[in-house]
Structure 1
Amino acid sequence: GAVDAILDHEVIQAVGFVGSTPIAQYVYSRATANGKRAQCFGGAKNHMIIMPDADMDQAADALIGAGYGAAGERCMAVSVAVPVGDATADALVAKLAPKIEALKVGPYTAGDDVDFGPLVTREALTRVKGLVDQGVKEGADLVVDGRGFSMQGYEDGFFMGGCLFDKVTKDMDIYKTEIFGPVLSVVRAQTYQEALGLAMDHEYGNGTAIYTRDGDTARDFAARVNIGMVGINVPIPVPLAYHTFGGWKKSGFGDLNQHGPDGFKFYTRTKTVTARWPSGIKEGAEFSIPTMK
C-alpha cells in the first residue's frame, strides 16, 4: 500500500524507518533494490551486565528505571539483566523484587504519582501476558507476577504490573524475543566472558550496559562488544543528539546512524564541481587529466 508506494516512487531518494526488525529488513531490501538510500532501525534485546564489584543499589535502581519506564515499550529498554556469579544474582534479585512490587501503575494523567502507565493497545497487553505465560511454561522462575494487576475505575485499561523472571536461559523464547512490556529477565552468568558472550551472540545489537567499578573490565567490554550503543554505569546509553544513535546486527540496517554527523551525511549527497576559465588556458588538445598548472 502506502509504504510500497514510497519505496517504489522514482522521485523519493531516501527512506528512513523505525519499527520491528522484519519490517525494517523489508523496507531496507525494497528501498535499496530500487536504488534508494535506506536507514532502517529494528528491534532490540538490551543486556545489562552486573559485575560482582558493582554497587548493587545503583544497579538495581538502574534496572528499575531502564526496564519499567514507559512500561518497557521503548527500543532502549533494558530487558535482560546478567549478573555475574550466583552471589551477585541472589543479591540483585533480592533488591529488585520489592522495588518492582512497589511500582505505581496508573494513567499518565496522574503525573508524578505514576511510575509507568498502560500498554499501547489491548493486543500488546495480550501479547506480553502471553509471553509471560510462555516463560512460566519454559521453566523460568517468575519472582514477581504482574499479570493480574487491575485498577479500580480502569478495569478495561491496558494495564499490567511489573514482572520479574529469574533463572532465564538463552534457549527460552522470552530470552530470544523482544517482549516490549514491563518484564525483566535475569540470566545468570558464572563468568564475565559468559556474560559478554550472551550480549554478543544475541541477534539484536541496539544497546547494552555494564555496571562495574573496574576500569579494565569496562574498557574491555566497550571495546569488544558488538553492539551500537554502550553504557558504562549508564543504564540507557542514548548518546546526546550531536553524536549518533543506532544499533548493530538485526537492530539496524544501513551504513549510517541517526542524528549527529551521520544524519547530515544520510540526507545529503556530495557534488564535486571541476571548473576552469578560458583565460590562460593553452591551446591544443590535452591528453591527461586537467590540473591547476
Structure 2
Amino acid sequence: MINLKQLITKSNVMLAALIVFVLLAAIITIGMLTPLVVSFLTGTSMNLDAQYFNARTALPMGSIIVLLSFYLLLGNLDVKKTLSGVFGILGMSFVFAIVSPFNSLPVDVIIPVAVFAFLAIFTRIGNSIRYWTKNPFKNARSISAHVIHLGLVLIILGVVLSTSMTVEDSTVVSTESRGIFENQEYSVSVDEISTYFEGSPYESHPGSSYVTDISFDVYKNGDYFDSGTVKSIRDLKWGQSYTTTYIHRSVLDEYFIAPRGVDSESGKVNLYSRIVPFITFVWGGLCLMAFGMLSLLTIGYLKKK
C-alpha cells in the first residue's frame, strides 16, 4: 500500500507546483509568440485577446493556487485532513461551475479556490502571531512571506475577475440626447464639442495637430456622477490619430470612456464605455507583494545587525 505521508510531502507538493508553473509559463509564452510567428511566416496580422489566455490558463492557474495552499496547510494539519479540504474545495468549484452563480465559468471556479487560499494564508499568519515570542525573527519572516502569497492570490483573483466580468459597449451621443450603454449603470451626455489647432504651424495649417475636445457629464443609475473631457487628436505632420481616455477609479471597479469618432458639425460623438470590475485587486496585490518583499529584506538586515 502507498504511504500517504511518504508520498505527499512538502517537497513533492512544491515540485508539483513548480511543474504546473512551468506549464503555465509555456502556455503564455506560446500565446505571446504565436502572432509574431504567424506575422513573420504569412504576413497576416492576428491578435489573441484575454479570452484566449483565460481559457487555456484557468486550469493550471487554479492548480497552482490549490497546490500552494495545500503546501501551507501541511505544516498545521495532517495529510488526510488537508486532502479532505482540497477535495472539498474542488467539489465546491465543480458545483459552482454547474450552477454558475456568477454567470462566468472562470469566476465560478476561482472563487472557492481563492477562499481556500485565503484561509490557508491567514491560518499560517495567525500561527506566526500566536507563537511570536518563541522566535520573533523567524515568525516575522513567515508573516512577510505569507503577505507576498496573499498579494499573489489577490493579483490572480483580480486578473480573472476583471477579464471575465468586463462590460463594454459603444453608442452615439449628441449634445441633445443622453447616451445609454447596454448592461451598464452609467450613461453620458455631451455638453460641448470644440475644435482647434495645436502645436507649431505645419504647411498651410496654423498647427501641427487638429484637436477635438469633448466635454461630457457622467450619470450613474440616472443621477449625476462626474464630469470629464476627452480629446480626439489628428496629427497632421505624422498622419496619425489618437485619443485620450477618461478614467474613474474606485475600490470595486474602474470606468473608462474614450471617443471612437467625432462629427463636430452635427454634434455627435461615438463614445466607447468600459467597466472593469475588481481591477483594484491587482494593484492591491502588487502593493502587498512589494510590502512583503521589503519586510523580508528589512528583517534580514536587522537580524544581521
TM range (shorter): under 0.3
TM-score computed with the length of structure 2 as normaliser: 0.21
Normalized per residue, which structure has more helix? 2
Normalized per residue, which structure has more strand? 2
Larger radius of gyration between Structure 1 and Structure 2: 2
